[in-house]
Amino acid sequence: MATLPLPLIQGTLDLMVLRTLSRHAMHGYAIARAIHDRTAGELAIDDAALYQALHRLHRLDLVEAEWGPSDNNRRARYYTLTPAGRKKLREATSQWRRYTRAVDAVLQGA
């Protein structure tokens, strides 16, 4: 009955991370939880890939990182979107929609 989580399509993790951060600043663990909850565990995203994505996005100046206190008095690294990150999110979202619509259109005839 339990199905295996789906492998991730290249590039989609960056997009999901940007979307998750679009509302407010979050640390890595919270992002992992949020994505896992929203996808109902359907996607196989290990934490390793998530942190690599965060640091990659940071390097590209799409997210900003800042240390701050977490819920239980730990120091956590909080990420927020930069204006460039917000722009990237808009573009990538619309591209993704076009992409899935196109694939869908083909698949509907199948």
Partner 1 sequence: MMGYRYLRRRPKTVASEVDEELRVHLELRIEELRARGLSKADAEREALRLFGDLERTRRYCRRQDEHREDEVQRTLMFQDFMQDARIGLRSLLRAPVLSLTIIIITVGLGIGATTAIFSAVNAALLRPLPYAEPTALVRIYTDSPPFKFRFSAADFLALQEQQTRFTQIAAYTDRSMTFSNGAIAEVLNGRLVTPAFFGLLGIKPALGRDFTEADGHPGSPQTVIATYEFWQRRLGGRADAVGTSIKLDGADYRVIGVLPRISGPLERRRDFFVALQISPPTRKGPFLYTTIARLKSPQTRQPLSTNCAPSIAGSFRSGNRRIRTTKPHGAWTT
Residue 51 contacts residue 73 (beta carbons within 8 Å): no
Of residues 74 through 103, those in contact with partner 1 by CB under 8 A are 74-77
By CB under 8 A, tell whether 58 contacts partner 1. Answer: yes
Residue indicated by tokens 């989580």: 5
Q: Which stretch binds partner 1 (CB under 8 A): 68-76, 82-90, 91-99, 101-109?
A: 68-76
CA torsion through residues 47, 52, 54, 55, sign: positive
Nearer to partner 1, 42 or 90 (CB): 42
Q: Is residue 70 close enough to count as binding partner 1 by CB under 8 A?
A: yes
The stretch near partner 1 (CB under 8 A) out of 2-10, 15-23, 52-60, 94-102 is: 52-60
Based on the shown chain and the rule CB under 8 A, indicate whether residue 59 belongs to the binding site for partner 1: yes
Q: Is 66 in the site for partner 1 (CB under 8 A)?
A: no
For residue 76, give the H/E element and its range: strand 75-81
| 80: number of Cβ within 10 Å | 14
Amino acid at 93: T
- Per CB under 8 A, does 35 bind partner 1? no
Site membership for partner 1, residue 38 (CB under 8 A): no
DSSP 35-46: HHHHTTT-B---
